[in-house]
Structure 1
């Protein structure tokens, strides 16, 4: 399969090229989404959404850039999953409207807040480029590409910064510095 020529044909609207691309990538996308959701029905729906978005947005993929088509497809799939999570977030109720469980435990909330503060301080102890990459990835849910563009570096560099920073945080957790 010559992927580049299939993409170019699909961009011109050739249905057979779309069909070949979908047949090739369908197993990868559906397995990826099933691993994320652990729900076959939901992963099937998200897989279909992914390919609908792929078909609608194929013109935006630039075959001349270094970005692999597979990366682009999997990014669409990941974004479909994230969109699903955002849509399925429960509405926030005011304190008066909430049904507080009888086992409501203030102590757990205080401990969780204390741990979050210690984690924040540990994050601040990392080198600035590692801390910033971790915050952007996990707090702002940016992609490696978006973070790399922001810092004018390669996505692999961002991935390395995140990995090294997380390794340092885990070591601190194991030594009990965050608990």
Structure 2
């Protein structure tokens, strides 16, 4: 049967039967609509792409956990997840709008700070980058590869999947486990990355 003519339900059934590529096909089918909706809401391509990736990571997680109930409205369900992710993004932005005098660029004397970073700022930033790169090197090879492609080569998960010869779902899963492992290592090593 042609994948384009298969219903969302049929693709989900194939996924539950072990065809891991079926969920990738389902994501591809609805990616443009979901991406356009998010882009229309946030008006920032980079932010929209991040929210898009988070939306489908969450959708696949819910499906894998068996919490998705099919009512013939898969696209509506994914758009609702996207909408909630957009709301979460705007809430976080609103919380970050409180700015202290120091953050606004003024010191105790009320003088404007220079935009250039100090030597100390550059040293701290360099140390953080070294710490993060060292942690990434400790990841399993498949997870490290996805992290490097996503964050250092700025590739989309579709491009990562194509380059590594895996499904989008597998690439998303590897990223998810990489982030879990990085958080665990940061906690274990008591690192402060800010």
Q: TM-score, normalised by structure 1?
A: 0.47
Higher relative CO (Cα under 8 Å, sequence separation at least 6) belongs to 2
